[in-house]
Structure 1
Amino acid sequence: MFERTSIIAEAGVNHNGSLELAKRLIDVAAEAGADFVKFQTFKSSDVLTSRAQKADYQKARTDAHQNQLDMVRKLELSPDDHFELVEHCKSRSIALVSTPFDIVSANFLVDDLKVDFVKVSSGDLTNAPFLLHLAGLGAPILLSTGMGLLGEIEDALGVLAFGYLKPAGVRPERSAFCAAYRSAQGQFVLAEKVSLLHCTTEYPAPIDCTNLRAMDTLKQAFGLRTGFSDHTPGIHVPIAAVARGASIIEKHLTLDREMSGPDHRASLEPAQFADMVSSIRDVEQALGSGRKMPTRAEISNMTVARRSIVAARKIEPGEVFSADMLTTKRPGDGLAPMELFALIGRPARRAYAADEAIDGVERG
C-alpha cells in the first residue's frame, strides 16, 4: 500500500461544508506535495444521537450550545460532492481517500469511489461490527490507534483478520477473532492489508502526550507498517516521527487556522504544510541505507582530509626505517598510515627527502 513515507493531507471537515473550499484544500495539498488528501464521509444521523455532546476542543471553536449532531450535519459532503472532488483530485494528480463513519459511507467509498484505502478513526478502534464490515469489503485499511491499549489494538486486528478471511461456517465472536489473528493466513492478510497509525486523540495534542516511542512498540508488537497521525502544533513532531521510522504521516490541513470549525486550530496552513512535506523528504534522504561507507559527497574529500606516510627527515637508500624516521601528513594520496608499522625494521630501497611520501612497503 505504501513505499516511501506517504503523506496524507487531512482535509477532514475543514471545508466547513463548502465544495469550493474542499477543492481549494485539494489544490494546496497537491501543491505542497502530499500523496493523498483525505476527507470524512458520513451520514450524521447514522453516527450520532441528539444526546452526543461536543468535545471541549470542538466547543472552543464552534457554538458551545450546539450539540455534536447539529454541528456535524453542516459538514456532510454528498455523494455527488465526492464524485466531483475525485475528478478534481485527478486533475491535480493527487489521490482522494476518506474516513467512513458508517456502513453506507464505507460501501460508497469502496464500491463506488474505489478509494486506495479507507482510514478508520481512533474512535472506531473498538467498534467491532464496523471493523468486521470494513474488512469484509476487502479494501486496505489504515487503522488509527488513538486512546487505544495494546490489547484493544490486537482485538481490532483479530476482527479485521476474520473479516478479510471470511472463514466459512464460523460465527463471528471473540474466540474466532483470536483464532483468525493467530493463524498464518491471518498474519499474512494483516501484513498485506493493514497499516497502523499511532495517534494522540486531542486537538491540538500536547507535546508531552505525543509518545512517539509508542510507534516502536506498535511495530514490535504487531509487525505491521506503522505511521503517525499528528495533532500537535507545528511541523517538528511529524518530522521527528519520520526520523524514528514512521512510514505514513497524516496531518490536518486548513486554509486558515482562525476559521470557525472544530479542527482548524489543530491544522497547518498551506505554507507550513508545504514546509513539513519538504522537510520530511529531506529526512528520508538523510536516513540513507544504513550501510557505513564513504558517501558520494565524501569521496572527493578523502585525499584532502586523510594522511599518508611521509619521511620525517632525509632518508638514505638502505637505511632501516625506525619510528622517528616516519610520520603521517596530508594529503592522503600515498601509503595509508595503517601501513606504518609494517615499514619499521625494513630498509629503504631509495632515497627520500623530508616530507616525501613513502611509496610502498619496502621488502628487504
Structure 2
Amino acid sequence: MAVSIGGTSLGDREPVYVIAEIGLNHNGDVDLARRLIDAAADAGAQAVKFQKRTPEISTPEHMKSVLRQTPWGEMTYLDYRYRVEFNRAQYIEISDHATVRGLDWFASPWDEPAVEFLEDLGVAAHKVASASLTDRGLLRALQATGKPIILSTGMSTLEQIELAVEDIGTERLVLLHATSTYPLPPHEANLRMIPTLKALYPSVPVGYSGHEQGLQISLAAVGLGAVVVERHITLDRGMWGSDQQASLEPNEFAALIRDIRIVSEALGDGVKRIYPGELAPLAKLRRVTA
C-alpha cells in the first residue's frame, strides 16, 4: 500500500489519516468555511474536504424544480445548489487558508467539469462520493488525472464496487467503507466490511467514512483496520443543513483524533513479547518458570 496524499503515506504501518469533511456545512459562506478549516486544523486533522458541483449537470432532473425551504427563502433545489456553490476565487481563498494551516485539501467532484475545475486549483487528491460510484464517465476522468482517488462505497453492491475499481485501477486508490444513512444508526454500520474490503483488495488502503453521531463507531473502525477516517465537521449541529446532524462539533472532532491516536498505539504489531512493564510483576508473581 504505497498511496500518498500531500506527502503523507497511507497504510497499516502509518498514522491514521483523518479527513474533516466540511462538505456543504459552510452554507456558501467563505468566512464559515475558513472557521471550519481552523477547527479541523486545531483538532489535528490531516485534510479538509469540500464538494464541487456544476449544478445544472449534477442535479438529477427530477430534483431540479423541487421546492426547498432555506435560510434564504423558498427556492428550487437547483437554485439552492447554485446558492451554496463556491466559485474559483472563493475556492482559492479557502484552499490558501487550508494550506497555511498545514492541511491537505480536496473535494468530491460530482461531474466531469468539476474535475477540471479542481485540477486547475491543484488539489492533492480527489474524493468520489458514494452517490457517484456508478458514474463511470466521472471515474475515468478522475483516473486520467493521475491523482490519488478516495472512493466511498456507500449505497453500493460489491459488484458495483468491482466495476468502479476496474475504471480507477488500484495503483492510487483508497477505498472507504461507508453506509449512506444520515445520521447512521449502529445496526447499519456493518464495520466488518472493512476487513472484507482489505481481503478483496490487499494492495489498497482501506478506511472508513462515518455519518454516525458520536465517536464509538469510528474508533471501532480503526480497531478493525481502517487507515483513513473521514467525518463531517460543523461548528454547531443546530445550524441549518442536511449534513449537520451527522457531523461532529470541534471539541468532539478533537476528542475523536485524540482517541484514534490512542487506539492506533494500542493495536501494536501483533508480535507477542514480554514488555518492560511486565518484568517486575513477572519476578514477583510467577512461581513456576518454563
TM-score > 0.5 by shorter chain: yes
Among 78, 91, 113, the alignment partner of 1:82 is 91
Q: Give how far 1:66 is off.
A: 4.5
Among 2, 5, 14, the alignment partner of 2:25 is 14
What is the CA–CA distance in structure 2 between the aligned matches of 1:92 and 1:299, rounded to whole Å? Answer: 44
Contact kept in structure 1, 2:133 and 2:156, CA below 8 Å = yes
Q: 3-state SS of the aligned residue for 1:52?
A: helix
1:220 aligns with 2:231: no
Contact kept in structure 2, 1:51 and 1:67, CA below 8 Å = no
1:151 aligns with 2:159: yes
What is the CA–CA distance in structure 2 between the aligned matches of 1:96 and 1:281, rounded to whole Å? Answer: 21
Aligned to 2:7: none
- Where do residues 252-331 of structure 1 align in structure 2 (5 Å cutoff)? 252-307=232-287
Contact kept in structure 2, 1:107 and 1:137, CA below 8 Å = no
Q: Give how far 1:195 is off.
A: 0.9
What is the CA–CA distance in structure 2 between the aligned matches of 1:117 and 1:20, rounded to whole Å? Answer: 24
Aligned to 2:187: 208
Q: 3-state SS of the aligned residue for 2:184?
A: coil
Q: 3-state SS of the aligned residue for 2:139?
A: helix
Q: Deviations over 1:3-62 (max 9, x none)?
A: 32110000111001000000000000000001101111222122115531699xxx7988
Q: Deviations over 1:206-238 (max 9, x none)?
A: 211110011122111222211110001111100
Q: Deviations over 1:108-139 (max 9, x none)?
A: 323x2222210000011111111111101111
Runs (5+) with no aligned partner, structure 2: 5-9
Contact kept in structure 1, 2:238 and 2:244, CA below 8 Å = yes
Aligned to 1:72: 81
- Where do residues 24-35 of structure 1 align in structure 2 (5 Å cutoff)? 24-35=35-46
What is the CA–CA distance in structure 2 between the aligned matches of 1:29 and 1:75, rounded to whole Å? Answer: 20
Contact kept in structure 2, 1:199 and 1:230, CA below 8 Å = yes
Letter in 2 for 1:8: I
Which structure would you say has the larger Rg? 1
Against the structure 1 CA distance between its residues 142 and 194, is the aligned structure 2 distance closer, same or farther, given a 3 Å change threshold?
same
Q: What fraction of aligned residue pairs are identical, expressed as a percent?
A: 38
What is the CA–CA distance in structure 2 between the aligned matches of 1:283 and 1:76, rounded to whole Å? Answer: 37
TM-score (ref. length: structure 2): 0.89
Q: 3-state SS of the aligned residue for 2:272?
A: coil
Q: Give how far 1:160 is off.
A: 1.6
What is the CA–CA distance in structure 2 between the aligned matches of 1:295 and 1:60, rounded to whole Å? Answer: 60
What is the CA–CA distance in structure 2 between the aligned matches of 1:39 and 1:305, rounded to whole Å? Answer: 56
1:338 aligns with 2:268: no
Runs (5+) with no aligned partner, structure 1: 162-189, 308-336, 340-364
Among 195, 201, 215, the alignment partner of 1:235 is 215
Report which of the two has the higher share of strand: 2
Against the structure 1 CA distance between its residues 64 and 204, is the aligned structure 2 distance closer, same or farther, given a 3 Å change threshold?
farther
Contact kept in structure 1, 2:108 and 2:129, CA below 8 Å = yes
Count of aligned residue pairs for this structure pair: 278
What is the CA–CA distance in structure 1 between the aligned matches of 2:123 and 2:226, rounded to whole Å? Answer: 22
Contact kept in structure 2, 1:50 and 1:67, CA below 8 Å = no
What is the CA–CA distance in structure 2 between the aligned matches of 1:300 and 1:108, rounded to whole Å? Answer: 62
Q: Give how far 1:64 is off.
A: 11
Q: 3-state SS of the aligned residue for 2:51?
A: strand
Q: Identify which range, 23-32 or 89-98, moves more after superposition.
A: 89-98
TM-score (ref. length: structure 1): 0.72
Q: Deviations over 1:341-363 (max 9, x none)?
A: xxxxxxxxxxxxxxxxxxxxxxx
What is the CA–CA distance in structure 2 between the aligned matches of 1:142 and 1:122, rounded to whole Å? Answer: 10
Against the structure 1 CA distance between its residues 40 and 304, is the aligned structure 2 distance closer, same or farther, given a 3 Å change threshold?
same
Letter in 2 for 1:23: R
Higher-RCO chain (CA-CA 8 Å, sequence separation at least 6): 2
Against the structure 1 CA distance between its residues 73 and 134, is the aligned structure 2 distance closer, same or farther, given a 3 Å change threshold?
same
Among 108, 121, 133, the alignment partner of 1:99 is 108
Against the structure 1 CA distance between its residues 61 and 237, is the aligned structure 2 distance closer, same or farther, given a 3 Å change threshold?
farther
